[in-house]
Amino acid sequence: MNIDTIRQETRGLSDGKIFLNNAGSSLMPSIVVDSMIDYLELEEQLGGYEVAAKNAEVLEEFYDETARLINAKPSHIAFATSATEAYAKALSSIVFKEGDVIITTADDYISNQITFISLQKKLKVNIIRTKNLPDNELDIEDLENLIKKHNPKLIAVTHIPTNSGLIQNVEAVGKLCRQYDILYLVDACQSVGQLPVDVKKIGCDFLSATGRKFMRGPRGTGFLYVSDKILEQDYAPLLLDMRGADWTEFNDYELFKTAKRFESWEMSYASLMGFTHALQYANNIGLHAIEHYNKGLSERLRENLKNNGFNVWDWGKNLSSIVTFSDPDGDLGRIQNILKENNIFFSVTQKNSALIDFTRKNINGIVRLSPHYFNTVDEIDTVSDVLKKAL
């Protein structure tokens, strides 16, 4: 992995910024942007239908590259306009009845939690959250006890919460789901692109992800993985269109065999093209190399922050390239100001986005830095020195 080449291929770094908001929306490689511009210029001249037909073979590479990324088959992959859309389509394919149980975690993403509550309000589905151990890891024993007691319809886990660096033990959850034959949905929005994600090891039925974060793709892109079991048992989104089924009788249709049944017919093919190049870019570097490099950056950043007197809020044994912290007084404004003054890109998470986790930690918000493989050790140390002055 040649960092100098990667940085040269990231035009967004040319103005001297230090970009550490990859968990929000990363910087695209030049090949991603250029491929989208070229595609749109063709659409300008020929129209969308003609250009899609001319590029049909290239556009199909999206399914191959995504399958390569997560160790699946191309037939398991559906394009989505976001991880949220992918997640919602997966949920909508499950026929929930009053009294059904969804087991999730205290650290699931805010939009997922709101979706569960919506299902609770509209369909009388029960939401149960499994416990965390004192070290913040998932309590797998408690989860199994909940499964035995409640016989859930679905277990849903966010692989890496957006509000901390914790990597949740999705493989252990998957083993229980297979053992008890329970549907399993994984939100991999923050993990895909920064570390290896293997759906065979996880054992999930659905996995949703976005393009804009650590994948370094364009906004308006994402994907959904669906397992053979889901396809064979004819799960499909509640609201299908002609991308998902063939109209065979006046009042009947026949589902298509692949995960494309979870797509909508209309999509931005320029965005699909760009996302395909982002997938190729990450696959060519290799996710194991990316994970190893990112781990070094994030560990160095956490250690520097702790040594400089900041409170670091990433609790757990296995941590990712998301670093969350605050100063001892909880004053986020002071940190934000000095980062902005020094052209350092970051994000802030308030309590309403992580209500359970931040209540447990007794904090109202955090600053989040999320380094990626185009960042350097020198940048990490520069940011650390800048923040030290804030105190």
Maximum CA extent, the chain:
71
Residues 171 and 201: beta-carbon distance below 8 Å: yes
Q: Are 100 and 132 in contact (CB under 8 A)?
A: no
Tell me what pLDDT residue 1 has. 85
Residues 246, 263: Cα–Cα separation, whole Å: 14
pLDDT at 345: 98
Q: Which residues contact 248 (CB under 8 A, 6 or more apart)?
A: 254
Angle between helices 30-46 and 269-285 (to 10 degrees): 160
Three-class secondary structure of residue 183 per DSSP: strand
Give the whole-angstrom CA distance, residue 318 versus residue 169. Answer: 9
Q: 197 to each of 70, 194, 239, 252, 382, how far by Cα in Å?
A: 5, 9, 29, 38, 31
Q: Which residue ranges of the chain lie beneath pLDDT 50?
A: none
According to DSSP, residue 114 is labeled H
Strand partners, 136: none
**pLDDT tens, residue by residue, 173-230:** 999 999 999 999 999 999 999 999 999 999 999 999 999 999 999 999 999 999 999 9
Question: pLDDT value at position 391?
Answer: 83
- Alpha helices by DSSP H, 124-256: 140-150, 170-180, 199-202, 228-232
Model's pTM, two decimal places? 0.97
